[in-house]
Amino acid sequence: MAEASDATLTEPAPAGGHDDLVGGMRDLLDGSHAEVRRKVVDGLVPFASVLEDADTMTSADFRERVRDLLVELAGSGLTGLGFPEEYGGGGHIGASIAAFESLAHGDLSVLVKAGVQFGLFGGAILQLGTKRHHDAYLADVVAARTLGCFAMTEHGHGSNVAALGTVATYDADTQEFVITTAREDAYKDYIGNAARHAELAVVFAQLETAGENHGVHAFVVRIREGGEPVAGVRIGDDGPKMGLNGVDNGRLWFDGLRVPREALLNRFADVSPDGVYGSPIESKSRRFFTMLGTLVQGRVSVGGAAITASKVALTIAITYAGRRRQFEASDPETEDLLLDYGLHQRRLLPLLARTYALHFAQEVLRDDLHAVFSGALSDDLDDDEIARRTLESRAAGTKALATWHATHTIQECREACGGAGYLAANRFAALKADTDVFTTFEGDNHVLLQLVAKGLLTDYAGAFEDMNQLDMVRFVGGLAVDTVLERTAVHKLLERVRDLLPGGSSGPDGSEPVGDRVASASERIEIRDADYHLAMLSFREEHILGSAARRLKAGVDKGGNPGEVFSSVQDHVIAAARAHVERLVLEAFAAKVEATPDGPVRDALTLLRDLHALWVIETDRAWFMEHGRLSSARSKAITTQVNALCREVRRIAQPLVDAFAIPRELLRADDLLG
């Protein structure tokens, strides 16, 4: 491939024109849910003043403002698209995720308030309840006539849901459950909608009958009547936060709250009037993970919202850099545009490419979610079990990468806009504050990556859902490492990329693995070759995964304590998961390029794909060089190509952010954009 042109950096976009590229790329980004996305964004514009209200109103008044907007949005029908039509919904989970992602263009307190009401609270009733619950609650939930909250997290147990301290004990004499906060640290905390507006709550608690514990189950209960807590419920306010102060996060204590037997959301388990517990899933652990697996939509939604927030930040920063001049670098008579400086391109354009990559990875995830859950209310719990586990893993990993990316991107964009970017009037303050918690929403990112790694290291078809991290150590310790690798998708991937390398999978004596010869072979491979990029990320994934498995096995073989063994290997476990998701993201991007017809849009996507892939390799160049997969000369060549790709992408940077189609009113950056 020819070297990048050294043409003037400020020349216009390639043939096809700005408008053609913007229109074509927008159509591609909006995809099959274009109408929904555009309706949501257009519907946010009349309420754009809420972005200023967050700065000017008191916390109490802003909470009421956000609540009122939530009710208005519910009236549009766009917040209930994931619910069945018979309850006022749209009957399409994929469309509901697209709507939520688009809602993130506006104020994020409104987004989170909607996520709690329709995604968490309403979603739990839909996915964990049965017809009696659907008939009783869903129509009012969808219309926002009844507001609720999702009471899972406890002060003493954030991610360790299985060890919750809230207990629901069945009283057969009255046919009621008695819900109690059993320990001092077991109160529900950080619960959105709880402090002020929720009338109902889905409460997660240990279910006990006749002295036997059956694990965590969910109950729908009333916590307020006429605006006041009901008997047996105490409510506290978490107070001001770093951001999202339009959301009334609160605390809940249960002091022997009595609720009817029918309050149990009984899709996966039930208790008879006389107190007999029954479930179609015999294993307590499998029942628990099956229940939580139905709530995966929250992770998919948060990751998508983070990608949208990144688009908002990049639109502001790149547009500003394309009009702001600073210093005389190329012409003593005229100051150069910020975006014409190589360093400024390096700061922003790889982040733009990664945002596109994550958008297409999120698209795959959203389609998978819709495919799996379009029949989610089936009574056959064994249907598509592998697809469900794969979805959970992909959702966890994509959410982690997308939210970390948003945090980094928003900060970099703020800095790239100088002092003006620090002004609240230019939205970065709100973006930074409101998205920061996304990295811990719906699960801490590191915990989520452990979930991904567990899926890679254990048998999807066997006892995967029954294993905690210590069981996983024992399981891997009992296997040959080659067997672990054989069960992973990356092992199959190697078959696809071996043609890039001479001599098959081993040397003449059969002892040298493919990965050890990548560095020399890659000198003959085109740097901008998409298969080469995937080969590099695949080999990294295989090597780290194999190394983690070997370390786990060695620790067990030496008689090590499983907890200590896992702790000593945790860095490898997280690295393996991250490498796996990075490969999935690049695969999704490459597939999107291949599916796009020839023309300006495909040309632009190809540039972005190559920039993203080479930037990922460059960022981890130390690992690739340490493991013989990258020579120093090749490493330098990759840096040269990243710089060249930044120059090429610079020419179309404005059309690429214009394709995000974010109305000026929602950018709230008049001081930066003029």
Supply the pLDDT for residue 291.
86
> Is 319 a residue whose pLDDT tops 70?
yes
Q: Mind giving me the DSSP string for 357-422? A: HHHHHHHHHHHHHHHHHTTTT-S-TTTTHHHHHHHHHHHHHHHHHHHHHHHHHHHHHHHHTGGGGG
Instruction: Find the DSSP H helices in 596-631.
Output: 600-619, 621-626
Residue 146, token pair as written in the block: 């009844």
Supply the pLDDT for residue 569.
87
Supply the pLDDT for residue 321.
92
What is the per-residue pLDDT across 163-203, written as a single tens digit (0 to 9) for each?
A: 899 999 999 999 999 999 999 999 999 999 999 999 999 99
Supply the pLDDT for residue 519.
47
Place 142 in a pLDDT band, splitting at 50, 70 and 90: very high
> Is 515 a residue whose pLDDT tops 60?
no
Q: Mind giving me the DSSP string for 129-148? A: --HHHIIIIIHHHHTTSS-E
> Is 498 a residue whose pLDDT tops 70?
no
> Is 350 a residue whose pLDDT tops 70?
yes
CATH number of the domain at 193, please: 2.40.110.10
Distance between CA atoms of residues 84 and 94, nearest Å: 13
What is the per-residue pLDDT across 73-99, written as a single tens digit (0 to 9) for each?
A: 999 999 999 999 999 999 999 999 999
Distances 84 to 256, 517, 581 between C-alpha atoms, Å: 34, 54, 32
Supply the pLDDT for residue 11.
41
Q: Mind giving me the DSSP string for 579-599? A: HHHHHHHHHHHHHHHHHSPSS
Instruction: Find the DSSP H helices in 115-264.
Output: 122-128, 131-133, 139-142
Place 565 in a pLDDT band, splitting at 50, 70 and 90: confident
Supply the pLDDT for residue 501.
43
What is the per-residue pLDDT across 525-556, written as a single tens digit (0 to 9) for each?
A: 689 999 999 999 999 998 898 888 888 888 87
Segment 421-433 mean pLDDT: 91
Boundary-marking domain end, from 231, 256, 282: 282
The overall average pLDDT reported for the chain is 87
Give the CA-trace dihedral at 583, 589, 595, 598, to 10 degrees: -130
> Is 14 a residue whose pLDDT tops 70?
no
Gyration radius from the chain CA atoms: 26
DSSP state of 157: B
Supply the pLDDT for residue 465.
45
Segment 653-669 mean pLDDT: 95
Beta pairing class for 176-181 and 250-260: antiparallel
Q: Containing domain of residue 465, as a range?
A: 447-508+521-658
Residue 318, token pair as written in the block: 């790149």
> Is 459 a residue whose pLDDT tops 50?
no
Supply the pLDDT for residue 479.
55
> Is 475 a residue whose pLDDT tops 70?
no
Distance between CA atoms of residues 670 and 431, nearest Å: 16
- 291 lies in a domain? no
Tell me what percent of the residues of the chain surpass a pLDDT of 70: 84
Segment 319-325 mean pLDDT: 86
- 86 lies in a domain? no
Least confident of 157-171, 388-402, 405-419, 605-619: 157-171
Are 93 and 82 a contacting pair, CB within 8 Å? Answer: yes
Are 491 and 485 a contacting pair, CB within 8 Å? Answer: yes
Supply the pLDDT for residue 428.
94
Boundary-marking domain end, from 238, 254, 282: 282
483/597: higher pLDDT:
597
Supply the pLDDT for residue 517.
46
Supply the pLDDT for residue 464.
39
- 178 lies in a domain? yes
Domain count, the chain: 2
Distance between CA atoms of residues 196 and 224, nearest Å: 9
Supply the pLDDT for residue 468.
63
> Is 63 a residue whose pLDDT tops 70?
yes
508/243: higher pLDDT:
243
> Is 404 a residue whose pLDDT tops 60?
yes
Phi, psi for residue 151 in degrees, rounded to 5: -100, 80
Q: Cα 263 to the chain's mean position, in Å?
A: 31
What is the per-residue pLDDT across 257-294, written as a single tens digit (0 to 9) for each?
A: 999 999 999 999 999 999 999 999 888 888 888 888 88
Distance between CA atoms of residues 297 and 289, nearest Å: 14
338/137: higher pLDDT:
137
> Is 383 a residue whose pLDDT tops 60?
no
Q: Mind giving me the DSSP string for 451-509? A: HHHHHHHS-TTTTGGG--HHHHHHHHHTS-HHHHHHTSHHHHHHHHHGGGSTTTTS-TT
> Is 335 a residue whose pLDDT tops 90?
no
- 540 lies in a domain? yes
Q: What residues are paired with 150 via a beta bridge? A: 202
Least confident of 549-553, 605-609, 629-633: 549-553
pTM: 0.89
Provide the 3-class DSSP secondary structure of residue 233. Answer: strand
- 437 lies in a domain? no
Segment 216-224 mean pLDDT: 97
Supply the pLDDT for residue 511.
39
Boundary-marking domain end, from 282, 305, 335: 282
Closest C-alpha among 186, 227, 189, 200 to residue 124: 200
CATH number of the domain at 484, please: 1.20.140.10
344/388: higher pLDDT:
344
Supply the pLDDT for residue 1.
33
DSSP state of 187: S
